[in-house]
């Protein structure tokens, strides 16, 4: 039996997930990455709690499927001998001072959690004393909704785990910029560092750079870079390993990790282009937002600010599937701020689609438009 030769362009969470899924199914996988500054996965600290999201429709369905898939992908990584992912179910908190909105959030999340089952856990409306017992730096006027199944994951560690497992399954990696040339006779030609690489399928998982890779085809998918600045603080001498992730009734968040570290963020700078700088305004926004709801972090030590260029979808839907009229070319991109939740599931689903030559129903709604 001849191995299916698959090239993955991009080694963020989406590309790494696809590579692992395809390699463990027997494909000959080559991962190509140009190591662009600003990769979203390298900057991200992920909250895995889609049930608290205000989104709905097919986007929410994919979001929830991503969270439900995590136990399975973690088991597969464990089978491959890879156990360090920094994934942990520490719970999730939605906090606010508007008690009516909090109750509305509770009711919506409770319905979703019942549908999700054990992965979401229990949902409980809690007062300030209980909120602060779970996350001590929070402001005294805040109450919350606690989701016991909420989890968190570090983007760098999870991505590294997937890539390691993919290589153990036989995948290889190349550093360099992939250059694609349309070929009317079949799969596009691909060169890296002046060397032509043959493939049966090419998957573009280049995140914010997806349209840069697609440019030779005169094709554009609705994905553009959005800068996100995320600051990491250290709460000296405090064990933060069991703290839940926190989302106020707004777009920013806080995620605690095992090393007395709390990630706070993030800006959503639409129209930023490919500019991975930490800016004064962005830094101010992140700190003000965090200290407004968690004044107890004011004395925390500043560690660093990471910048990621998210692949922001136009219309809020990711792009997953074969490029029309271009045999063998596929796109896996446009997850915005939800990449760490959706990426492993979407990558696995696309791997099944590519290797079985039929798209699973779970990703049919996200196929690139003709």
CA geometry: angle 134, 140, 145, nearest 5 deg: 50
Structure tokens at 312: 């922001």
Structure tokens at 6: 């698959």
b/e sequence 245-273, b meaning 16+ C-beta within 10 Å: bbbbbeebbbbbbeebbbbbbbbbbeebe
Backbone angles phi, psi at 119, to 5 degrees: -65, -30
The residue ranges of every structural domain in the chain are 5-42+156-222+315-366, 88-150+224-313
Instruction: Say what the pTM is.
Output: 0.96
**CA torsion through residues 30, 27, 62, 75, sign:** negative
Domains 5-42+156-222+315-366 and 88-150+224-313 share a fold: no
Q: pLDDT (tens digit, 0 to 9) for every residue of the chain, 370 residues total?
A: 578 999 999 999 999 999 999 999 999 999 999 988 889 888 888 899 999 998 999 999 999 999 999 999 999 999 999 999 989 999 999 999 999 999 999 999 999 999 999 999 999 999 999 999 999 999 999 999 999 999 999 999 999 999 999 999 999 999 999 999 998 878 899 999 989 999 999 999 999 999 999 999 999 999 999 999 999 999 999 999 999 999 988 778 999 999 999 999 899 999 999 999 999 999 999 999 999 999 999 999 999 999 999 999 987 899 999 999 899 999 999 999 999 999 999 999 999 999 987 778 899 999 998 8
| Cα 356 from chain centre | 25
Which residue, 94, 38, 62, 32, is CA-closest to 253? 94
**CA torsion through residues 218, 221, 222, 228, sign:** negative
N- to C-terminal Cα distance for the chain? Answer: 33
Backbone angles phi, psi at 205, to 5 degrees: -120, 50
* Block residue for tokens 């090419």: 202
- Chain segment 56-94, per-residue pLDDT in tens: 999 999 999 999 999 999 999 999 999 999 899 999 999
3 state DSSP class of 178: strand
Q: Are the beta carbons of 317 and 363 closer than 8 angstroms?
A: no
Look at the domain 5-42+156-222+315-366 and name its fold.
FAD/NAD(P)-binding domain (3.50.50)
Cis preceding linkage at 266, omega within 30: yes
Query: How many CB atoms are located within 10 Å of the residue 118 CB?
Result: 10
CATH of domain 88-150+224-313: 3.30.9.10
Q: Are the beta carbons of 187 and 328 closer than 8 angstroms?
A: yes
Q: Are the beta carbons of 346 and 320 closer than 8 angstroms?
A: yes
From the number of C-beta atoms within 10 Å of its C-beta (0-12, 13-18, 19+), residue 283 rates as middle
Q: Are the beta carbons of 140 and 132 closer than 8 angstroms?
A: yes
- Chain segment 247-280, per-residue pLDDT in tens: 988 778 999 999 999 999 899 999 999 999 999 9
């Amino acid at each position: 039996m001849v191995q299916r030769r698959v090239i993955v362009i991009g080694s963020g969470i989406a590309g790494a997930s696809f590579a692992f899924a395809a390699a463990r199914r027997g494909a000959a996988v080559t991962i190509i990455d140009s190591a662009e500054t600003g990769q979203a996965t390298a900057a991200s600290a992920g909250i895995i709690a889609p049930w608290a999201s205000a989104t709905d429709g097919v986007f929410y369905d994919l979001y929830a499927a991503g969270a439900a898939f995590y136990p399975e992908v973690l088991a597969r990584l464990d089978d491959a001998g890879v156990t360090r992912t920094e994934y942990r179910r520490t719970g999730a908190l939605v906090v606010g001072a508007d008690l009516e909105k909090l109750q509305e959030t509770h009711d919506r999340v409770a319905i979703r959690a019942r549908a999700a089952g054990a992965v979401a856990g229990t949902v409980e409306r809690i007062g300030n004393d209980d909120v602060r017992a779970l996350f001590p730096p929070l402001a005294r006027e805040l109450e919350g909704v606690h989701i016991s199944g909420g989890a968190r994951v570090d983007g760098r560690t999870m991505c590294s785990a997937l890539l390691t497992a993919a290589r153990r399954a036989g995948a290889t990696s190349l550093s360099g910029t992939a250059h694609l040339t349309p070929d009317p006779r079949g799969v596009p030609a691909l060169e890296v560092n002046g060397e032509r690489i043959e493939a049966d399928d090419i998957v573009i998982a280049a995140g914010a750079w997806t349209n840069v890779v697609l440019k030779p085809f005169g094709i554009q998918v609705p994905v553009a870079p959005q800068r996100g600045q995320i600051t990491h603080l250290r709460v000296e001498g405090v064990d933060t390993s069991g703290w839940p992730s926190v989302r106020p009734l707004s777009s920013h968040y806080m995620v605690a990790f095992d090393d007395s570290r709390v990630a706070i963020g993030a800006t959503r700078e639409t129209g930023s282009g490919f500019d991975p700088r930490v800016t004064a305004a962005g830094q101010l926004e992140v700190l003000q937002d965090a200290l407004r709801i968690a004044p107890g972090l004011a004395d925390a030590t500043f560690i660093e600010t990471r910048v990621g260029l998210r692949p922001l979808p136009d219309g809020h839907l990711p792009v997953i599937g074969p490029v029309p009229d271009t045999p063998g070319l596929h796109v896996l991109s446009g997850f915005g701020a939800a990449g760490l939740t959706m990426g492993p599931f979407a990558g696995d689903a696309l791997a099944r689609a590519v290797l079985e030559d039929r798209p699973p129903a779970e990703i049919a709604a996200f196929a690139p438009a003709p």
